[in-house]
């Protein structure tokens, strides 16, 4: 008898299953319910998205050029997804209305982007200094490639769209907001009452109103604020709103980091005769930013998701392009395909960022102990 139990208890998987799935009657019933639930949802979704879905061609092998050729619109009872809309609109999803013969410029920018970011993300990277230098040059390269300049034809931002606009607003917004947010966070902790109250009012105002009202304001009122000759285009107006918005949230994240620095560090630095800016630059910020990175990444995830709001002011980001595709009579009514595809793109970016944030939290924990 005891031998039998021992044999069972040696089996790692069996033990695991007993502990996590069948520890009690209630637990067993829960497991059965969960299995049925997962099976039903999973099989439906897999069937819809893969097994009975059309990709480029329908069930007869015909290439799908409009929605009436989708299997589900021909065969009664068929419900599989019709991914042909994604193939047909792929260029728009990636580049918007960017001229087809110039899309290599966008592709090149996409390809260079990871190299510009990687230096900031990982501190033990070989040749990290080179990557950091590249980070600072990258905005100019990207501007030259995307907008045009000597040797390259100009492509107006009204032609930009899809992932290009989403990434542009996300990356540029974060990049511009970062220095601004450091100043705001320092200002909020400043001993000078006027500077402090200006920063507090700015941060709390921006955090108290929805992004959509800021986008509206930038869209409608920026032209009113500026002299005649200066008329920023729609994308730039959205960028202003997004940057201000992000800087307020990031400033709060950084303030959290600043508050975590023991006062003794500042006093010690002052006792050594360092000036305010020396103390800030060499003692406080390096420590505070390190602590603040996980919450900063969280605000970045938030901002990346919020870039989808620009569709409301008439820009064509990923979601805007998706809605435009659905408004086209040849593809209309394929909502789920389009929205699931866009969700997947956002999910990949945001989930990636949240994993990075977790990785950092773990790394910082081991450093401290």
Residue whose entry in the numeric block shows the structure tokens 């006792």: 271
Per CB under 8 A, contacts with other proteins among 284-313 are 301, 305-306, 308-309, 311-312
229 is an interface residue for other proteins by CB under 8 A: no
Residue with tokens 């392009």: 321
Chosen residue from 18, 31, 73, 118 binding other proteins by CB under 8 A: 31
Residue 217 interacts with other proteins (CB under 8 A): yes or no: yes
Which of 1, 3, 4, 194 is close enough to bind other proteins by CB under 8 A?
194
* Residue that has been written with the tokens 């439906």 in this structure: 44
Q: Of 51-59, 107-115, 137-145, 186-194, which segment contacts other proteins by CB under 8 A?
A: 186-194
Q: Which residues contact 364 (CB under 8 A, 6 or more apart)?
A: 290, 291, 293, 294
Q: What is the DSSP letter of 62?
A: P
Smallest gap from Cβ 286 to other proteins, in A, equals: 24
CB closer to other proteins, 19 vs 56: 19
| 8 A C-beta contact, residue 82 and residue 75 | no
Taking phi over 0 as left and psi of -120 to 50 as alpha, with beta for the rest, 317 belongs to beta
| Cα 359 from Cα 103, distance rounded (Å) | 35
Cβ contacts of residue 241 below 8 Å, gap of 6+?
211, 214, 215, 217, 218, 219
* Per-residue contact string for residues 36-75; x = within reach of other proteins by CB under 8 A: -xx-------------------------------------
Strand, helix or coil for residue 77? coil
Q: How far is the CB of 151 from other proteins (least distance, A)?
A: 37
103-121 and 128-147 helices, crossing angle to 10°:
150
Segment contacting other proteins by CB under 8 A, of 62-70, 95-103, 140-148, 222-230: 222-230
Q: Map the footprint of other proteins across residues 317-346, applying CB under 8 A.
A: 319, 323, 335-336, 339, 342-343, 346
Q: Which residues bind other proteins (CB under 8 A)?
A: 20-21, 23, 27, 30-31, 34-35, 37-38, 191-195, 198, 205, 207-213, 216-217, 220-221, 223-227, 301, 305-306, 308-309, 311-312, 319, 323, 335-336, 339, 342-343, 346-347, 350-351, 354
């Amino acid at each position: 008898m005891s031998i039998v139990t021992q044999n069972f208890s040696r089996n790692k998987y069996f033990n695991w299953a007993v502990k996590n799935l069948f520890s009690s009657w209630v637990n067993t019933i829960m497991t059965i319910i969960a299995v049925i639930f997962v099976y039903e949802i999973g099989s439906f979704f897999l069937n819809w998205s893969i097994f009975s879905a059309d990709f480029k061609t329908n069930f007869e092998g015909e290439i799908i050029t409009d929605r009436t050729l989708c299997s589900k619109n021909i065969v009664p009872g068929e419900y599989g997804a019709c991914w042909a809309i994604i193939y047909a609109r792929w260029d728009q999803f990636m580049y918007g209305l960017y001229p087809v013969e110039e899309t290599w410029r966008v592709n090149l920018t996409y390809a260079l982007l990871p190299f510009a970011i990687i230096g900031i993300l990982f501190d033990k990277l070989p040749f990290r200094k080179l990557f950091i230098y590249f980070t600072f040059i990258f905005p100019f390269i990207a501007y030259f490639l995307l907008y045009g300049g000597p040797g390259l034809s100009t492509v107006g931002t009204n032609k930009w769209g899809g992932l290009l606009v989403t990434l542009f607003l996300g990356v540029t917004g974060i990049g511009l907001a970062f220095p601004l947010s450091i100043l705001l966070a320092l200002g909020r902790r400043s001993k000078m009452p006027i500077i402090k109250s200006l920063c507090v009012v700015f941060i709390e105002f921006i955090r108290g109103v929805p992004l959509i009202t800021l986008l509206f304001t930038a869209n409608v009122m920026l032209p009113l604020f500026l002299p005649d000759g200066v008329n920023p285009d729609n994308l730039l107006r959205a960028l202003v709103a997004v940057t201000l918005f992000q800087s307020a949230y990031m400033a709060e994240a950084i303030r959290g980091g600043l508050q975590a620095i023991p006062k003794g560090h500042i006093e010690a630095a002052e006792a050594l005769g360092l000036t305010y800016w020396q103390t800030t630059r060499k003692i406080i910020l390096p420590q505070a930013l390190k602590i603040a990175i996980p919450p900063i990444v969280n605000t970045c995830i938030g901002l990346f998701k919020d870039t989808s709001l620009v569709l409301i002011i008439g820009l064509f980001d990923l979601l805007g392009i998706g809605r435009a595709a659905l408004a086209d009579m040849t593809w209309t009514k394929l909502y789920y395909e389009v929205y699931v595809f866009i969700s997947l793109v956002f999910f990949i970016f945001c989930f990636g960022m949240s994993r990075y944030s977790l990785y950092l939290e773990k790394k910082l924990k081991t450093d401290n102990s």
